[in-house]
Amino acid sequence: MGGRLWKIAGRTIDVGRHGMIMGVLNVTPDSFSDEGEFFSLDKAVARGLQIAAEGARIVDVGGESTRPGAEPVSVEEELRRVIPVIEKLRREMSAAVNAQGSTSNAQPSIEIGTATNSKFISIDTSKPEVASAALDAGASIVNDVTGGSGDDKILALIAKRKAAFIIMHMQGNPRTMQVAPHYVDVVSEVADFFRQQYARAIECGVDPMAIAFDPGIGFGKTLEHNLELLGNLERLRVENRPIAVGVSRKSFLGKLIGTSEMRERLAAGVALTSLLRSRGAELFRVHDVKENVDALRVTEAILEH
């Protein structure tokens, strides 16, 4: 293990040695996973701090639901939802680090992905205006469900701001993506998309070390498509970049274990964090942070021997 690096906010993280948990913070009234529980500013910030305290290295803030069938929101509404949360969360997280006596001047040249090091905020958006404001407010990662294909301006923005960038694959858009997903070869087609968007990002000046890839499980995919992608992660890897996966609470887990209850998908999702880490994934976007952090650490302890 080791040797796969990801650059975030001027720091180089060895995610090959220790993976990173991204905790989901939905600031929406219609999220599939929490039904708008964290829509208010104070509840959202409190949840973000809890995510960090439970061991997530990244708090992933989103203000537009991307569940199947979701309607888009305006730039102005998305900004209203996420920017106050990111600003306050960044202040609170920085204050917590300072209270622990952290000295930013003593950062190592390469960090391992342990839960005791620096924390980051990502903005889950495909809108350049939202990404720009979020980076101003304290985010350092842009997590784009369109992989930079939704609006070309986002690639130039990421390059200019030296942000980390997660390129996700989605067939269609949230409103229609699960109507009738179709691929000739889903693994090859997603890998081709990654290579195309990687090349476009580099052409726009994005630092290749700042890029990671997410196959977009459940985003325009059937159950069989999801399983094909998860079973062939290494075929998706481009230029030794990190791979992120987001399977937490998703409906395909319910289909596999025979339940429609959201909370009953927890054990299956945690099991996949362990399995997929052993198969090469480095970044895990989850709702239930502590359980997944524990699974990741136990898995990595075994993998190191």
Rounded CA-CA distance 194/188 in Å is 10
Both tokens assigned to 90: 């960044």
Rounded CA-CA distance 289/287 in Å is 6
What is the DSSP annotation of 25-43? EE-SSS-TTTTTTT-SHHH
Q: Which residues contact 248 (CB under 8 A, 6 or more apart)?
A: 24, 33, 265, 269, 285, 286, 287, 288, 292
Which residues on neighbouring strands pair with residue 24, listed in sequence order?
A: 60
Rounded CA-CA distance 174/179 in Å is 10
Which residues on neighbouring strands pair with residue 110, listed in sequence order?
A: 12
Catalytic residue status for 250:
yes
Catalytic residue status for 237:
no
Active-site pick, 81, 127, 250, 277: 250
Burial class (CB in 10 A: 0-12, 13-18, 19+), 182: exposed
Q: Which residues contact 153 (CB under 8 A, 6 or more apart)?
A: 128
Rounded CA-CA distance 53/290 in Å is 9
For CA atoms 106, 108, 114, 119, the dihedral sign is positive
Q: Which residues are catalytic?
A: 250, 285
